[in-house]
Amino acid sequence: MRIKAAVWIAGMMLLLMAPAANAHHSVSMYDMEHPSTYKGVVNRIEWTNPHAYVYLDVKDDKGQVTEWAMEINSPNFLRHNGWTSTTVKPGDIITCTGGAAKSGAKTMRCTSVVLADGLVLRS
C-alpha cells in the first residue's frame, strides 16, 4: 500500500512538473526551421538559469554594429557539452547558428557555437 501511494505520488508529480519543465524550453518564438548564422564579438555573457545568454556585437555589410541576444541552453546542459562559464568571454569572436526571432527582434535561439579557435560546441 505504501509503495502504491509512493508510485502514485511520483506519477502525479511528473504530470504536474512536465508542462513547467517544458515551458522554458519553448522555441515557438524562434524560426528554428530556417537556421541562420551570425558572427560577431562577444560583449557579455549571462551564465543564468533557465537559459544562458551571449550578447554578440554583429557588424553588417555597411559596418553598422547591432547587438544580438543569443539565447543558449542552461548552464547544466552547457557544462555537459564542454562549456564552462568562461568558455566564451567578452572580446571573443564567435559564430552562432540557430533560429532567429520571428518578430524580427535581434535575438536568436542559438543551438551551436563556433569558437575563435574553430571548436564547435552544442548550445
Task: Give whichever of 97 and 111 is closer to Cu ion, judged by the CB atom.
Answer: 111
Task: Give whichever of 1 and 23 is closer to Cu ion, judged by the CB atom.
Answer: 23
Give the nearest distance from C-beta 107 to Cu ion in angstroms. 15
Q: Which of 87, 51, 47 is nearest to 71 (CA)?
A: 51
Q: Would you count residue 80 as binding Cu ion (CB under 5 A)?
A: no
Phi/psi for 121 (5° steps) reads: -125, 140
- Write the binding mask 18 to 57 for Cu ion: x where contact by CB under 5 A, - elsewhere: ------xx------------------------x-------
- Region of 110 please: left (phi>0), alpha (psi -120 to 50) or beta: beta
Phi/psi for 18 (5° steps) reads: -55, -50
- The count of residues interacting with Cu ion (CB under 5 A) is 3
Phi/psi for 20 (5° steps) reads: -65, -40
Q: In the complex, which residues of this chain contact Cu ion (CB under 5 A)?
A: 24-25, 50
